[in-house]
Structure 1
Amino acid sequence: MRQVNPDGPLVVAALRWTDLHAHVDPLTGQVDTDPRTSGASDADRCALEHALRIAEAWGGRVLAVTAGPPDADAMLREALAVGAHAALRIDMTWHDVASTQ
């Protein structure tokens, strides 16, 4: 692994906190979300992996960012565990997150 250069680039990985198993009512089309089944999608994990590879190649750092409720901290802890140097959560309630989907 390359040495991190403090003057190197900061690569930001935007991770979306979303319901991975949303239920859609077939009669009304209403989407029911559940914070217990929420997390990062496979695409978000791939974005984080690419950010880590770019930062390693250029001697930079990775910042994992998400907007979500306190439950989203688990996703950011996972990002830190796989190599992100820092994490940032923009506080939003579950209702705010669900309304942006």
Structure 2
Amino acid sequence: MSKIRPNDNTSFPTGSAVVATNNIATIYDRKLNTAYDMVMKLKKEIEQQNAEDVRLRNRELEEDLATAKTEKAYVKSWADEEIARLKETCAIEVSNAEAAMRAR
């Protein structure tokens, strides 16, 4: 290892070497900024796509819920009609049974 002498300017970049180093740093910064901008753009696109996916899924779930409510209302209506029919049939059968017992 050689000692650096205080007045020896050959050990430090000067003139065109400093300019070249600054140019390289500037080019690197530009590339880094371009890459960063691209990453941020892609991140934003991913976030927008995720938000759209959530909106679509919510819409599907709302449609499924509406369908389920409609089906539930239909089943309840059918069940109410069936219960009314069975009550009527039961009342008729009870009346027939009472009439048969009186006739004995």
TM-score by length of 1: 0.22
Larger radius of gyration: 2
Higher RCO structure, 1 or 2 (CA under 8 Å, sep 6+): 1
TM-score by length of 2: 0.22
Higher helix share: 2
